[in-house]
Amino acid sequence: MNLTDANPDDLIARIQSGESIETIAAEYGADPVRLLDYCGNPFVYSSEWYDYGYHLLKCKTDTASFEEIRLQYEEKGYFKKLDFYFDQIQLPNRPVRWLEIGCHLGLSAYAAARRFPQIQIDMFDFSQKAVEWCQRTFPFPERARIWRCSCDHIHFGDDPLNDQYQVVTCLDVTEHLPKEVYINAVREICRVLSPYGILLLQQGNIPSPSHINVMNEKSLIEHFSSVNLKWLDTKPFVPKSVILHKFQKTPAGRPFEYKPTSLRKE
Ligand SMILES: C[S@@+](CC[C@H](N)C(=O)[O-])C[C@H]1O[C@@H](n2cnc3c(N)ncnc32)[C@H](O)[C@@H]1O
């Protein structure tokens, strides 16, 4: 059967009911990216959608080079925002372990590695295509580990990464997460931070089908403060209408105060 014989609404219904995008595409002998393009790229929260609908269809990462993508984002002022964020932290002049959550195209990781030569950067994403892209193109491969992982269960192989990172960045990620994944991610981020480690957190707040969890900033602060994290400050980055929150992990010993009930009020 040809893809052009298919009714796009039927395809959308099948994709949104949770059927595999790859399996449906195979029925029509089509590439999954072409299938999604044909039916208007309906959003569904899955690593498959992030592979085909986000990384390949939206960001065109199969054809673009890192430099092309970097320039596109440079023109949009993306790196100015990151420079402003990184102005908010001071790092010692010795090796520092940094974790970038949901690394996508590796741009925040790149900006961090470019600015701070002493960091070893770990980065993961739950999209295999994003991971492959970063593994292929990240400009500082000798200082990076890049792997596939979900932020609700952070580990590197057998290593649970407890108390490992002096800095964690979670930028433009929480708004993409279903509530249960988000709740666990809050706990996991706290777990992998080292005592006194710093979290830089910012949610994207532009309306978009994949932004399924945009929250008011007060709730975001409340949720991350309900684990062993102390809120330090909040700074708006005015040109982009986004807000950076800075937290510090409190030393081990403080009782675990995670209160998932406060999340259900959203
Ligand atoms: C807007 S991008 C993040 C941008 C990136 N942090 C940066 O600053 O350059 C959102 C990313 O979150 C990833 N993502 C969504 N759910 C995830 C999960 N459960 N675990 C890890 N990554 C996830 C998506 O695959 C996507 O690459």
Q: The domain spanning residue 252 has which CATH number? A: 3.40.50.150
Atom of ligand 1 nearest to the CA of 150: 20
Q: How do residues 139-178 score in pLDDT, each as one tens digit?
A: 999 999 999 999 999 999 999 999 999 999 999 999 999 9
Ligand 1 contacts CB of residue 50 (under 6 A): yes
Q: How do residues 103-145 score in pLDDT, each as one tens digit?
A: 999 999 999 999 999 999 999 999 999 999 999 999 999 999 9
- 125 Cα: distance to centroid of ligand 1 (angstroms): 6
Q: Whose CA is nearest to atom 17 of ligand 1?
A: 126
Q: How do residues 8-24 score in pLDDT, each as one tens digit?
A: 999 999 999 999 999 99
Ligand 1 contacts CB of residue 245 (under 6 A): no
Ligand 1 contacts CB of residue 170 (under 6 A): no
* Neighbouring residues of 261: CB distance < 8 A, sequence distance ≥ 6: none
- In order of 4, 81, 98, 188, 229, the CA distances from 161 in angstroms are 48, 28, 12, 10, 17
| Residues 94, 20 share a domain | no
**Do the domain assignments include residue 63?**
no
| Residues 50, 97 share a domain | no
193, 163 contact by CB (below 8 A): yes
Ligand 1 contacts CB of residue 172 (under 6 A): yes
Atom of ligand 1 nearest to the CA of 109: 9
**Do the domain assignments include residue 67?**
no
**Do the domain assignments include residue 206?**
yes
| Residues 224, 191 share a domain | yes
Residue 63: band (very low, low, confident or very high) from pLDDT cuts 50, 70, 90: confident
* Neighbouring residues of 117: CB distance < 8 A, sequence distance ≥ 6: none
**Do the domain assignments include residue 136?**
yes
| Residues 169, 45 share a domain | no
* 3-state SS class at 63: coil
Residue 223: band (very low, low, confident or very high) from pLDDT cuts 50, 70, 90: very high
Atom of ligand 1 nearest to the CA of 176: 15
Ligand 1 contacts CB of residue 104 (under 6 A): yes
Determine the structural domain holding residue 31 and report its residue range: 8-58
